[in-house]
Structure 1
Amino acid sequence: MLPDFLIRAGLAGLGLTLATGPLGSFVLWRRMAYFGDATAHASILGVALALAFGLPVGLGTLTVAVAMALTVATLSARGWAVDTTLGVLAHGALAVGLVAISFVKGVNVSLESYLFGDILAVTWGDVAAVWAGSVAVLALLVWRWQGLLTSTLDPDLARASGIDPDRERLWLTLALAVVIAVAIKLVGALLIAAMLVIPAASARALSRGPEQMAALASALGALAVVAGLALSLSQDTPAGPSIAALAAATFALAALFRHKG
């Protein structure tokens, strides 16, 4: 019989992969891996703000993630280099967040849990929040799938078809913000991007179409969650990094299989 905390961790991790599979696929197709990583780093500022004002941590991280997305979009539209903007905002927000947390009084908080995650400590409320957020993101991606896919493959064709690529990018960044908000307690700010990118990269090596890649990315992410939790239980390793490490091992196998094929 599995312990209750492990069941909660497994359900939370599996719920997260519902969204990270298809969303991570779009992150790769649009070459937004750095954007996802930067937004995740900046979410630490959201944690600090939430703790300081007594708000839910998910709300704080969601607010900062959305604000970062809008800021990057605004600055890039004005001619700023996207990579430079992301670098400044990500590291600046992370540094400010780390400093701000040290000034929050009367709050017993482990910063490491927000940096690396603590999936084994999730409550049933956290599980419900993760599933609600993931299902909402998955529903959004299914609803906007054709528009997102067309604007990703050919923005000019999208405009000719009456699809606004900027609007589709906004939907995608909003979905990314929601996933980061619900995932930060599970895998932490430093590993969120790994769960978005690595399973999708593995799936790309084995897939023949976008829909197959999105579904396979979710399946490989779920496999990494189960295997990572099993490794953590048997070898007493940290759960979040174990999940990311198993995802990386899956990518290595997928790359080897593709090379031999």
Structure 2
Amino acid sequence: MAILDDFMMRAMLAGLGVVIAAAPLGSFVVWRRMAYFGDATAHAAILGVALALSFQISVFAGVLLVALAMAITVSSLTGRGYGMDTMLGVLSHSALAFGLVAVSFLQGVRVDLMAYLFGDILAVGHSDLAVIWGGAALVLGLVVWRWSALLLSTLNPDLAYASGFDPKREQLVLTLALAVVVAVAMKVVGALLIAALLIVPPAAARPLVKTPESMAFVAAAIGALAVIGGLQGALILDTPAGPSIVCAAAIVFALVSLGASLKAGFAARSRP
């Protein structure tokens, strides 16, 4: 356990656990154009924090319960007169507002709201690592088990039906897995940055790959690079660790996008 006694090592392991689970799910978020879902679930997590502190239960348990409730609500209401983006937009901002109002009513409880909004990865303990990696293992197992069904339901719902898969059920599986990732990532990057960690690495990986499986692996590699680079940058520049990780991922995305644009430009010029 000596290697885990260093707070930077614990922070790095926590970040790696989150990005390994977030990469394949983030790929589905990008493919399905569900970027708002990460925001909605993450914003609802603040309400989970308030409820957990009110009832004196584990903050992780409160965040997970509210995130799961949000996932089920989104899956059940989508398609009933509202588009996915509209429903997620309404639920996202409403959940954040109710959560912040609920926190203001807490009496005799000291709440570090900045830590919940932007993460406190440097304060990750041994028990937090166990929760993060346990949640990551659960999500990865679920994704591996349902990979074919999730992918087919994402690419062609009609073909999924013909193959014996229910696209609505697979969407529910995806949203529940995303809720678990949001709950375990709360400690690392906070409610306002979780969606970025879900979306930016897969978006950066997309121009570099040709298959869905390789996109998930490359997204995980980019996320790991962002965690290591962001923590190193935070240590050197004395900046917040969570936002620094997201900034590192954004820099990788910018470099990949620039490279893809230059490659496309050279290819266009070389055509006869």
TM value normalised by structure 2: 0.93
Output the CA distance in 1 between the equivalents of 2:259 and 2:22.
23
What residue in structure 1 maps to residue 190 of structure 2?
188
Task: State the Cα distance separating 1:79 from its structure 2 match.
Answer: 1.7
Output the CA distance in 2 between the equivalents of 1:249 and 1:109.
32
Is the aligned partner of 1:246 residue 2:248?
A: yes
Task: State the Cα distance separating 1:61 from its structure 2 match.
Answer: 1.2
Of 199, 202, 207, the match for 1:200: 202
Output the CA distance in 2 between the equivalents of 1:29 and 1:171.
16
What residue in structure 2 maps to residue 221 of structure 1?
223
Task: State the Cα distance separating 1:249 from its structure 2 match.
Answer: 0.1
Of 76, 92, 95, the match for 1:93: 95
What residue in structure 1 maps to residue 169 of structure 2?
167
Contact 1:18/1:135 (8 A) holds in 2: no
Return closer, same or farther for 1:3/1:258 CA change in 2, 3 Å cut-off: farther
Contact 1:14/1:225 (8 A) holds in 2: yes
Task: State the Cα distance separating 1:159 from its structure 2 match.
Answer: 0.2
Question: CA deviation digits over 1:12-48, x for unaligned, max 9?
Answer: 0011111111110011011111111111111111111
Is the aligned partner of 1:118 residue 2:117?
A: no
Of 169, 178, 181, the match for 2:180: 178
Task: State the Cα distance separating 1:83 from its structure 2 match.
Answer: 2.3
What residue in structure 2 maps to residue 157 of structure 1?
159
Of 106, 109, 112, the match for 2:111: 109
Contact 2:118/2:191 (8 A) holds in 1: yes
What residue in structure 2 maps to residue 68 of structure 1?
70
Output the CA distance in 2 between the equivalents of 1:217 and 1:115.
24
Output the CA distance in 1 between the equivalents of 2:46 and 2:30.
24
SS of the equivalent of 1:7 reads helix
What residue in structure 1 maps to residue 238 of structure 2?
236
Question: CA deviation digits over 1:126-146, x for unaligned, max 9?
Answer: 111101101110110000000
Of 24, 27, 33, the match for 1:25: 27
Task: State the Cα distance separating 1:125 from its structure 2 match.
Answer: 0.7
Task: State the Cα distance separating 1:107 from its structure 2 match.
Answer: 1.9
Contact 2:75/2:175 (8 A) holds in 1: no
User: Where in structure 1 are there 5+ consecutive unaligned residues?
Assistant: none
Output the CA distance in 1 between the equivalents of 2:172 and 2:156.
17
What residue in structure 2 maps to residue 57 of structure 1?
59
Partner AA of 1:240 in structure 2? G
Question: CA deviation digits over 1:113-159, x for unaligned, max 9?
Answer: 00000100111111111011011101100000000000100000000
Report the more deviating stretch, 164-173 or 33-42: 33-42
Query: Among the aligned pairs, what percent are the same residue?
Result: 63
The root-mean-square deviation of aligned C-alpha atoms, in Å, is 1.4
What residue in structure 1 maps to residue 81 of structure 2?
79
Return closer, same or farther for 1:130/1:160 CA change in 2, 3 Å cut-off: same
Report the more deviating stretch, 31-40 or 236-245: 31-40
Task: State the Cα distance separating 1:70 from its structure 2 match.
Answer: 1.7
Output the CA distance in 1 between the equivalents of 2:11 and 2:250.
20
Partner AA of 2:71 in structure 1? A
Report the more deviating stretch, 210-219 or 88-97: 88-97
Task: State the Cα distance separating 1:88 from its structure 2 match.
Answer: 1.8
Is the aligned partner of 1:212 residue 2:214?
A: yes
Question: CA deviation digits over 1:207-251, x for unaligned, max 9?
Answer: 111000000000100000000000010110000000000100000
Return closer, same or farther for 1:33/1:190 CA change in 2, 3 Å cut-off: same
